[in-house]
Amino acid sequence: MTTIVSFIIVLGILIFIHELGHFLVAKYSGVGVERFSLGFGPRLIGIKVGETDYCISLIPFGGYVKMMGEAPDEEVSPEERAKSFTHKPLGVRTSIVASGPLMNIVLAMVLFPLLFMMGIKVPAYVDKVPQVGYVAEDEPAERAGIRAGDEIVAVDGRSISTWEELMKAIALSPDKRVTLRVKRDGREFTTELTPTVSREGIGVGGLYPPMRPVIGGLTPGFPAHRAGLKEGDLIVAVDGKPVTHWIELQKLVKKSPQERTILVEREGKRFTVELKPRYNEELDVYLIGVTRLEEFVTRSYGFFESVKMGLVKAWELTVLLFVIIKGLITGVYSIKTLGGPIMIAQVAGKAAESGLTDLISIIAFLSLQLGIINLLPIPVLDGGYLVFFAIEWIRGKPLSDHFLSIANQIGMALLLALMVFVTWNDLMRIFTN
């Protein structure tokens, strides 16, 4: 029930804000609004105020604002011509169409700073001394001679005392040489490290904080769950090889389907289980279905710092969205990783159970994605109409009704096909797990 209610709340807010943008600018511009609907299809309930019918419709996946004279071929009387969307200047029509996705983006820009002021959860290790727990093979840190147990005390001559300071320095130096001051066994030395560039464009050093291989969650239906492992179990060894770091566990299981002997410690007692990793096509790795137990702390920030951090977060998510879109087009990412309404409902449900902050975070994230995606130049989406308006501005006259009709039919067919596909993906995740 929590999942369903949360899904309705999240989706309702996103749709309402989007359509409210269209509605307010249309009203301000003198365009007659015949219907403001949350949902599509048959009208369920509503109230008519003046010329506008405010209602909730049967199909909840979207909404619309029906404006007077919206369809180019719609007959409009001479008296109604002044309120007709089609007969408004190009600039007015453009602002009305753009206002929906822009309202979603504005909502995200408001919510992200609010989250930082309310307090966000961050991994507890970010405030701890930057002592290295693991060094990845063939990564910059290994080439720089850094080992597990080393403590990083300075970057480019500036003293640091936390993992957050170290991670930020490396992330902001992609493909740029940085000088590290390292403490080992009571002695200090200097080395140079050149972070590689990740897909997101940030620097990666290949060094990680201590992460004990303690299970924090299990995926139903996967080998670890079926073998009876529980949250809080400590993985001590794999095939007789001691495991002291979570990444060591990942490395030992992700590349091979062969059965593994896992030594587990639970409440001071040790036992072994046999696990055969399961292949994950989307990630192209073998998994046993466990996630790490992680400690979090809550941080709150002042108004101005929250605004700055919120804008940075929104920008990072925007860049990430386009990286993913590019990856889907080029085949770097599988389209099977796409999720639909069922996944959104599950995420919203979990967020609601975690608390108000997590629920607001999901709303902010989805609102930003919805706003940006709606601006993509695809027929039926707002971005498609903006492209048509741009062409109209260049040509000096609107595109033909026939062309617009065919383009919108193609766009609608593509969106429906995508909706069916992502829903199928959601169902496959449920039934194969």
Residues 24, 109, single domain; the answer is yes
97 within domain boundaries: yes
H or E element at residue 309: helix 303-330
The 3-state DSSP composition of the chain as helix, strand, coil percent (nearest 5) reads 45, 25, 30
**How large is the angle between the packed helices 90-118 and 2-28, nearest 10 degrees?**
140
Q: How many domains does the chain have?
A: 3
Same domain? For 222 and 189 the reply is no
- End position of a domain, from candidates 297, 315, 332: 297
Identify whether residues 14 and 100 lie together within a single domain: yes
- Determine the pLDDT at residue 130: 94
Nearest to 256 by CA among 289, 222, 279, 290: 279
pLDDT of 76 reads 73
Q: How many whole angstroms separate alpha carbon 74 and alpha carbon 295? A: 60
**What is the mean pLDDT of the segment spanning 39-68?**
89
Q: How far is CA 128 from CA 1, 123, 124, 152, 316, in A?
A: 40, 10, 7, 12, 25
**pLDDT computed for residue 143 by the predictor:** 93
Tell me the three state secondary structure of residue 128.
coil
- 277-304 average pLDDT score: 85
Q: What is the pTM of this model?
A: 0.72
Q: Is residue 150 in some structural domain?
A: yes
Say yes or no: 34 and 80 in one domain. yes
Q: Give SS3 for 35.
A: strand
What's the CATH code of the domain at 133? 2.30.42.10
* Per-residue confidence (pLDDT) for residue 348, from 0 to 100: 67
Residue-level pLDDT at 185: 92
pLDDT at 90 over 70: yes
Considering the domain architecture, whether residues 110 and 26 belong to the same structural domain is answered as yes
Range of the domain at 231: 215-297
Overall average pLDDT of the 76-93 stretch:
84
Which of 93-102, 120-129, 170-179 is modeled with the greatest confidence?
Answer: 93-102
Rounded to an integer, the average pLDDT of 302-327 is 85
Residues forming the active site: 19
Does residue 254 fall inside a structural domain?
Answer: yes
Q: pLDDT grade, residue 338 (50/70/90)?
A: low
183 vs 327: which has the higher pLDDT = 183
86 & 162 share domain: no
Please say which residue of 242, 272, 297 terminates a domain: 297
Question: Is the confidence at residue 345, as pLDDT, over 70?
Answer: no
- HSE-up (13 A, CA, CB side) for residue 93: 24
Residue at a domain's end among 297, 320, 340: 297
| pLDDT attached to residue 285 | 82
Does residue 326 belong to any structural domain of this protein? no
Q: Is there a single domain that holds both residue 222 and residue 183? A: no
Residue 351 lies in a domain: no
pLDDT band at 407 (very low <50, low <70, confident <90, very high): confident
* Residue 175 belongs to a domain: yes
> Is residue 11's pLDDT more than 90?
no
Q: How far is CA 327 from the centre of its chain?
A: 15
SS3 291: strand
How far does CA 290 lie from the centroid of its chain?
A: 21
Estimate to the nearest angstrom the gap between the alpha carbon of 80 and the chain centroid: 44
Residues 129 and 92 in one domain: no
H or E segment to which residue 279 belongs: strand 278-280
CB 288 within 8 A of CB 224: yes
- Pull the structure tokens for residue 294: 């992680």
Q: Is the pLDDT at 70 greater than 60, yes or no?
A: yes
In a domain, 343, yes or no: no
Report the pLDDT value the prediction gives residue 341, as an integer from 0 to 100.
Answer: 67
Q: Which of 283, 258, 255, 262 is nearest to 215 (CA)?
A: 262
- Asked if residue 209 lies in contact with residue 274, where contact means CB atoms within 8 angstroms, the answer is no
